Structure 1
């Protein structure tokens, strides 16, 4: 069964170019291309769509708000395709339910892998995007209790060496399949380690693991 994809971008050149690129892969069926977030939401509410490739800056309804509505109203998973100019939207998009955040200048194979990763319920966050999140974190934080402060610090002693290895590779933007090849362990074993890390930190998904590993802070 092919992965049903919708492409939302107000630039017709990018829309059609992405459609042509995805057509070269057997895994995908591009069911629609739309010009803004409003059209994307309307289409996904009326049709079965697995993954929405979403631009950020669009008229009528931007990609961040569209992502929020898709998350609340449909089963469609959102992968944001963006440019360096869209830094300000990164955190909001993730908080609104985006499963991935990828730059448009990636190779077709990277975009293909990202779509498949998002489709299977995992998160994709490119390393350069993680760097932007890290550099944009505000140093001013509300006061916390000792218990909360302890829980939010990256204490390496809480994790096994294998868990730390996996966290480091997640922080580099690698998917489980890529981590499996690097560490010579099965994807199932990796999933078990990730579950353990999530349990120890109280985090919810791999994107938060990446941010936690890079910054030492829990960003829920």
Structure 2
């Protein structure tokens, strides 16, 4: 029996997915959660084999939720269940330990098949977005941040952003206040001429490229 946890902030999706998955005799839905932190707490108290994790959720999104869970529960497999437009966010989730990436428009039988594949120790990425994700995951040279007048402390913040951490989490890691980290992120955006945190993550993961 495969113990499944469904993590999504949309109640309709949680309940409908629970009904669909419960139809398979090899799968048992042991719980549903609204965000990553709730999922982490659930895993501390209950046996979970595979998690279906959304990306965009309040409090703790799928990227950071994946990282937190995998750091403590290495044997739990996580499948990101997201929309096509979210493919750029998936890079950090995969690097944080996710084993799969599915689109929400996938058929129910494919979701069940994916759960069994990932539970067996394999990795699964939706074929429509695999080329994009693979391209982003290819190892690239380290960015020479010195030419952007970015110091070592700011580089550490950039790396934490690329790993999916929030300003609050970064502040705890670099021993600064959350407000100071927020100001430094603003400075980094200005120096790199980027628009938002996601662009910082992609810039770093792609070795200093945005195309």
State if a TM-score over 0.5 links the two structures: yes
What is aligned with 1:47? 46
Verify the 8 A CA contact 2:91 2:137 in the aligned structure 1: no
Distance 1:23 1:92, change over 3 A: same
For the pair 1:24 / 2:23, whether they are aligned, the reply is yes
**1:41-190 correspondence to structure 2 within 5 Å:** 41-74=40-73, 75-134=75-134, 141=141
Distance 1:51 1:137, change over 3 A: closer
Shift of 1:136: 5.2
Q: Unaligned 5+ residue runs, structure 1?
A: 144-220
Alpha-carbon deviations, 1:140-188, whole Å to 9, x = none? 8459xxxxxxxxxxxxxxxxxxxxxxxxxxxxxxxxxxxxxxxxxxxxx
- CA–CA distance in 2 between the matches of 1:73 and 1:32? 19
- CA–CA distance in 1 between the matches of 2:55 and 2:10? 11
- CA–CA distance in 2 between the matches of 1:15 and 1:142? 40
TM-score, L = length of structure 2 = 0.63
Distance 1:131 1:43, change over 3 A: same
Shift of 1:62: 0.5
TM-score, L = length of structure 1 = 0.60
Alpha-carbon deviations, 1:177-217, whole Å to 9, x = none? xxxxxxxxxxxxxxxxxxxxxxxxxxxxxxxxxxxxxxxxx
Verify the 8 A CA contact 1:80 1:101 in the aligned structure 2: yes
Distance 1:123 1:134, change over 3 A: closer
Aligned length: 142
Verify the 8 A CA contact 2:6 2:18 in the aligned structure 1: yes
What is aligned with 2:11? 12
Alpha-carbon deviations, 1:103-130, whole Å to 9, x = none? 1111111111100011111111111121
Distance 1:77 1:135, change over 3 A: closer
Structure 2 residue matching 1:20: 3-state secondary structure: helix
- CA–CA distance in 1 between the matches of 2:77 and 2:58? 21
